[in-house]
């Protein structure tokens, strides 16, 4: 069975019949996008005759969508314009929901992910791996603060999460159809893709790559967004912070109980002495702080439950271009191409 899959995969690669979906999230990339799509489509033709480049315009406020819509049809580019900026994680899900390939390759529009890694992804896929993820070999382009922050995040998530997220793996990766379908079954609103890729599992392997300089424009990540993503990564994938506070509560109440016994003992044997005001003040502040902290942790979860129970769609599509054939195919099959 396994060898049969291997030969089919190798065959598809060698006779260039593998249908490859390239998923490109775009947010204000007007300086890059035309050259990027043209070069990507040129590059991929060395490996297949069947490809689609799904560009997800994540509510750009510049001219990106219009530039993509005007690209020549023979580049096989499809455009999905979201109704506003939903964030990269959601844009990627929109792309995956709308792709038809045997495999999907997720790649940034700013030339930071080298095309030359794509053949390595394909080679690993043909060896039987369903999820092939790029791991950045160096993070030299980043500030000390960002590097320390990301190392801390990975340490914490490894310690807390039930699934381990491979350190320094990003969204640059190849996913087999099996993995795409599995990801489509994860309907959550608080999407943290790195966690979801790890959660769905499947046979995975890392491929190292060196991050390139951004060709033009500037990165849209700021510390507020990064912090939001990191919190999502921790609280959407682990209940451990909740449990830790249960444990802390237990330890503190045991200590308090022992202390109460000690006071009773002291009063009985040595009589009443001057009450310790400082102990009381420190005690009140300490417990007040602990309570606020644990309420904050509860709040992180409740906030996430709140967004999940509203059951709003994860994204809304304002405009589609190039998906006409897909709609026809879906209506024949009786399916729904999604919103
Ligand atoms: N992006 C997006 N939505 C956003 C932010 C970014 O689709 O809200 C896209 C962006 O156009 C690019 C990719 O995600 O193709 C990576 O973003 P960026 O280069 O800003 O991040 P960095 O490389 O600094 O992590
Ligand atoms: Mg970038």
Q: In tens digits, what is the pLDDT along the chain, a chain of 339 residues?
A: 567 677 889 888 888 899 999 999 999 999 999 999 999 999 999 999 999 999 999 999 999 999 999 988 888 999 999 999 999 999 999 999 999 999 999 999 999 999 999 999 999 999 999 999 999 887 666 677 777 877 777 777 777 766 777 878 889 999 999 999 999 998 888 788 888 888 888 999 999 998 888 877 787 777 777 788 788 777 777 777 777 777 787 788 778 778 878 877 887 888 776 677 667 767 787 777 778 778 878 888 888 888 788 888 889 999 998 887 776 665 555 444 444
Residues 126 and 21 in one domain: yes
Closest approach atom of ligand 1 to CA 214: 19
Residues 186 and 83 in one domain: yes
User: Does residue 338 fall inside a structural domain?
Assistant: no
Residues 67 and 39 in one domain: yes
Q: Domain of residue 295: give its range.
A: 240-309
Looking at residue 72, which CATH number applies to its domain? 3.90.550.10
Q: What is the CA radius of gyration of the chain?
A: 26
Running DSSP on this structure, what letter comes out for residue 164? P
Pocket probe for ligand 1: among 110, 111, 215, 217, the residue whose CB has the most ligand atoms within 8 Å is 110
User: Does residue 202 fall inside a structural domain?
Assistant: yes
Residues 191 and 260 in one domain: no
* Integer angstrom CA distances of residue 160 from 15, 166, 180, 269, 276: 45, 14, 26, 47, 39
User: Does residue 185 fall inside a structural domain?
Assistant: yes
Helix 177-184 vs helix 193-200: crossing angle, to nearest 10? 110
**CA–centroid distance, residue 136 to ligand 1 (Å):** 16
Instruction: Give residue ranges with CB within 6 A of ligand 1.
Output: 25-27, 29, 58, 85, 87-88, 91, 108-110, 112, 219-221
Closest approach atom of ligand 1 to CA 225: 8
Residues 190 and 302 in one domain: no
Residues 281 and 317 in one domain: no
User: Does residue 62 fall inside a structural domain?
Assistant: yes
Residues 206 and 303 in one domain: no
List phi, psi (to 5°) of 285: -65, -40
**CA–centroid distance, residue 87 to ligand 1 (Å):** 8
* Integer angstrom CA distances of residue 14 from 20, 39, 101, 196: 14, 22, 17, 31
Residues 200 and 258 in one domain: no
* Integer angstrom CA distances of residue 73 from 27, 37, 60, 265, 317: 22, 11, 22, 87, 21
**CA–centroid distance, residue 227 to ligand 1 (Å):** 15
Residues 37 and 82 in one domain: yes
**CA–centroid distance, residue 108 to ligand 1 (Å):** 7
**CA–centroid distance, residue 110 to ligand 2 (Å):** 6
List phi, psi (to 5°) of 256: -60, -40
Residues 39 and 179 in one domain: yes
Residues 324 and 254 in one domain: no
- What would the two tokens of residue 128 be? 């039987």
User: Does residue 272 fall inside a structural domain?
Assistant: yes
Running DSSP on this structure, what letter comes out for residue 121? H
Closest approach atom of ligand 1 to CA 108: 15
Residues 302 and 329 in one domain: no
- What would the two tokens of residue 70 be? 């005007």
**Contacts from 292-301 at CB under 8 Å and sequence distance 24+?**
293/245, 294/245, 294/248, 294/249, 297/241, 297/242, 297/245, 298/242, 300/231, 300/235, 300/241, 301/235, 301/242
The domain tally of the chain equals: 2
């Amino acid at each position: 069975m396994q060898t049969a899959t291997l030969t089919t995969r190798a065959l598809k690669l060698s006779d260039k019949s593998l249908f490859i979906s390239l998923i490109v999230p775009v947010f204000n990339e007007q300086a890059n996008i035309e050259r990027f799509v043209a070069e990507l489509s040129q590059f991929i033709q060395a490996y297949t005759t069947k490809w689609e480049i799904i560009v997800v315009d994540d509510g750009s406020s510049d001219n990106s969508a219009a530039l993509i819509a005007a690209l020549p049809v023979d580049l096989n580019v499809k455009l999905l314009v979201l109704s506003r900026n939903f964030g990269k994680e959601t844009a990627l899900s929109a792309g995956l929901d709308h792709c038809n390939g045997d495999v999907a390759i997720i790649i940034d529009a700013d030339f930071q992910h080298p095309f030359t890694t794509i053949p390595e992804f394909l080679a690993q896929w043909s060896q039987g791996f369903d999820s092939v993820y790029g791991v950045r070999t160096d993070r030299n382009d980043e500030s000390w603060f960002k590097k320390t922050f990301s190392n801390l995040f990975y340490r914490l998530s490894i310690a807390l999460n039930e699934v381990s997220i491979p350190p320094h793996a990003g969204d640059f990766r190849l996913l087999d159809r099996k993995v795409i379908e599995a990801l489509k079954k994860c309907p959550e609103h608080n999407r943290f893709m790195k966690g979801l890729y790890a959660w769905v599992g499947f046979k995975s392997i890392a491929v190292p790559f060196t991050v390139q300089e951004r060709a033009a424009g500037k990165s849209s990540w700021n510390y507020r967004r990064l912090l939001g993503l990191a919190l999502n990564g921790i609280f959407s994938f682990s209940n451990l912070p909740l449990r830790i506070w249960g444990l802390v509560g237990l330890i503190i109440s045991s200590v308090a109980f022992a202390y109460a016994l000690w006071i009773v003992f002291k009063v009985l044997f040595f009589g009443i002495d001057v009450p310790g005001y400082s102990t009381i003040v420190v005690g009140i502040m300490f417990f007040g702080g602990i309570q606020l902290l644990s309420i904050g942790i509860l709040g992180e979860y409740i906030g996430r439950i709140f967004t999940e129970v509203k059951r709003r769609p994860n994204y809304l599509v304002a405009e589609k271009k190039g998906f006409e054939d897909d709609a026809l195919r879906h209506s024949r099959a009786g399916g729904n191409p999604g919103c």
